[in-house]
Amino acid sequence: MPSIVNIAAYQFASLTELPALRCELRELCQRLDLRGTILLSEEGVNLFIAGTREATDELVRRIRALPDCANLDVKESLSDEQPFNRMLVKIKREIIAFGVPGIDPRQYTSPRMTPQTLRDWLDEGREVTLLDVRNDFEVQAGTFSGATAIGIDHFRDFPDAVARLPESMRQQPVVTFCTGGIRCEKAAPLLEQLGFEQVYQLDGGILNYLETCGEAHYQGECFVFDRRVAVNAALEETDTAQCFVCQATLSAEQQQSPQFIEGESCPLCYRTPEERATARLAERQAALRRVIDPLPGSVPYDNFRPISVPERCHGLTVLDFLDAMKTHLSRDAWEEICSAGELFDRGAPVDASDTVRAGQRFLHKMPATLEPDVAADIRLVHEDDALIVVAKPAPLPMHPCGRFNRNTLSWILREVFQPIQPRPAHRLDANTSGLVVLCKNRRVSRPVHAQFADGSVQKTYLARIQGEPNSDAFSSALAINPKPTPHGIRVGAADGLPARTEFLVRRRYGDGTTLVEARPLTGRTNQIRIHLWDLGLPICGDPAYRPDHQLGDKQTLTPRDAPLCLHAQRIALRHPLTGERVEFTTVLPTWAK
C-alpha cells in the first residue's frame, strides 16, 4: 500500500510578513520531514509537498489558518517513494509567473466549469474549444481529445501566444485547463480581457477531472512536476520518464533506446558527437561575439598590474626598486604614482620610501584605463575535453603586456570559457594571424608543452615576402640572439640559440612578391621573420624587420595598418588524451589567396 501522500494546492490571498512566514513554514516542514516546494507571494500560496498522512495534514491545517486560505482546495495522490529531493520555501513576486498587470485572481476569476459539466458537454458533442495552457512538454504526456495547445515553453510566454489564436475562437465557448487549475486563474481572465466572449476554466484542472471523471475524453497521462513525471487516470505513477535536456516525456520503449542517456540525451534530442561538437562551437562563438562587442578594453576601467620584487632589489626603497626595473615609466612618474596612492601592497597604498623585500608583489592601479583597438574577430576551430583551437586575427596580442590587458586573446577566451582558464600551448606575435592551440587544464598542458619543446609538433606558416628566392626550396639555420635590442627586437647572432626554418615557394606574383610556406623546426621568438629578413626577403607589412636589412622601431600594428603577411596555417600534434595524431587548418588570409 503506497504510504507517501502527494499534495498540490494553491490559494490566491493577500499575504503579509512573508519573510517571517517563510521561516515558520520551513521549520515546520523540516520538523515534519516533508519535501517539496512552497511558493509564497503577496498574492497567495502555491505548494507541491509529499510526506506522511499526518505530516501533510498538519501542514494543510497551518496553511488554512492563513488569511483568506480557509478554503484551500487540496489535490492528493499516493506513491511508494518520496518524489521530491529536498524542501524549499521561496518568496516570489507571483505564485505563478505571468507578468501581466491588471490580472489579479484575488479580485476576479473567470467562471469555473466542473469536471462533470465538461464531461457532459463532451458527451453531447457540444462545440467547444478546449485550450491547453500548459507547456508543450507537458502536453506531450497527454491531453484532452481534440484540445488546442497554446504552444509555449513557459507560462510567462502565454500572453504572446494568445495573439496566434484564430480570430474565430473569440466567439465560441473556450474552456481553459492545466494541471491543477492555478494557471487558468490568470489565463482565462486574460482571454476575457482580450475580447474572448465565453471563457470558462476547468475547476481543479486535469488532476481534479481524472479523480472525478476518470479517463473519459482524456488521452494519455498527466505530467506532474516531481520525480514521478506523470500519473495515469487513477493518479498512479507511470513508467514515463523525462529527458532533462529537452524536457520531452519518454515512454518505456523510448527509455530502452541506446540514445537515451539519463541527464545527457534522449531519442528526440540525441546528436552525434560531430553534431554536438558543431553545436558547442556555435554556442562558444556566440558567447565570444558578446564578449568582444564592444571590445573589452574600449570601456574605461581600473586596471591593476602586478609588479614583483626580484632578489637583486631586496632592501631597496620602493622608488629605487621601481626605477631599477627599467619600466616605460620614469622615476618621477613612479614618484607621482606613489604620492597619488596608486601603488598597493595587499590592498594598502605604499610610500615611495618604504623598503621592499624579495618576492614582494605590488599592484599598480591605472585608473580609467583605455586600451588601443585590436582585431578581435577570433574564430573557434575546435574544442574537445582537452584542447581548444582558435584562429587568431591580427593585430591581437596573446597575453597582457604594455598597453594591452583586456584586449588580448587570453583575457577574451577566459571570459568565454569561464570557469575554465585556457592555457596557450605556444604563442604567436600580436601581428601574426592563424592557429593557436590552448589546453583546458594543467594535466593536459604538460604533455602538449613537451611536444612543442621536443619539436614533434608540425607547424606550417604562410608568408608573403618581398623579393623572389633563387630556388623554390631553401632554408635558414641562423642562430638567434636571446637578448633583444633596445627597441625589443631580436636579431641573429653567431653565438645565439640554434634555429632552423625550411621554406617552399608556393606562388610567385608579378609585383615582385612571393608566397612561401615556412616550416620552423625550432621555436625561437620571431624566428621566421628573422630568417627571411636575414636572407634579404622580409615579410610584407613587417614593421620591425624592414627591407635592406633595416630595423624598425614599431612593434604592434593597428587594425588600420597594412597587415603583417604571416599566417599560422596548419598545426599537427598528438592528442594528449587519445595519443592520436590530430591536425588543424584554417582559412587562407586575403593576401594569400
CA atoms within 13 A on the CB side of 61: 7
Would you say domain 431-592 falls under CATH 3.30.2350.10?
A: yes
pLDDT at position 555, please? 80
CATH class of 301-369: alpha beta
Contact 210, 233 (CB under 8 A): yes
β-sheet bridge partners, residue 572? 458, 583
pLDDT tens, position by position, 474-516: 999 999 999 888 777 899 998 999 999 999 999 999 999 999 9
Give the three cell numbers for residue 233: 487516470
Give the three cell numbers for residue 375: 582585431
Give the three cell numbers for residue 97: 509567473
Q: Is the pLDDT of residue 134 over 70?
A: yes
Superfamily of 112-238 according to CATH: Rhodanese-like domain (3.40.250.10)
Per-residue CA distances from 489 to 324, 480, 505, 516, 546 (Å) = 21, 11, 27, 23, 12
Q: Where are the domains of the chain?
A: 4-91, 112-238, 301-369, 431-592
Residue in the block written with cell 520531514: 33
The model's confidence at residue 465, banded by pLDDT at 50, 70 and 90, is very high
Q: Is the pLDDT of residue 37 over 90?
A: yes
pLDDT tens, position by position, 146-172: 999 999 999 999 999 998 999 989 999
Per-residue CA distances from 228 to 16, 68, 140, 267, 550 (Å) = 33, 31, 16, 20, 77
pLDDT at position 102, please? 87
Contact 20, 45 (CB under 8 A): no
Q: How many CB atoms lie within 10 A of CB 344?
A: 15
pLDDT at position 522, please? 94
Average pLDDT, the chain: 94
The model's confidence at residue 443, banded by pLDDT at 50, 70 and 90, is very high
Active site residue 540: no
Any idea which architecture 4-91 has in CATH? Answer: 2-Layer Sandwich (3.30)
The model's confidence at residue 97, banded by pLDDT at 50, 70 and 90, is confident
Query: Catalytic: which of 178, 213, 243, 540?
Result: 178
pLDDT at position 1, please? 62
Q: What is the pTM of this model?
A: 0.65
- Average pLDDT on 356-369 reads 95
CA distance 314 to 300: 35
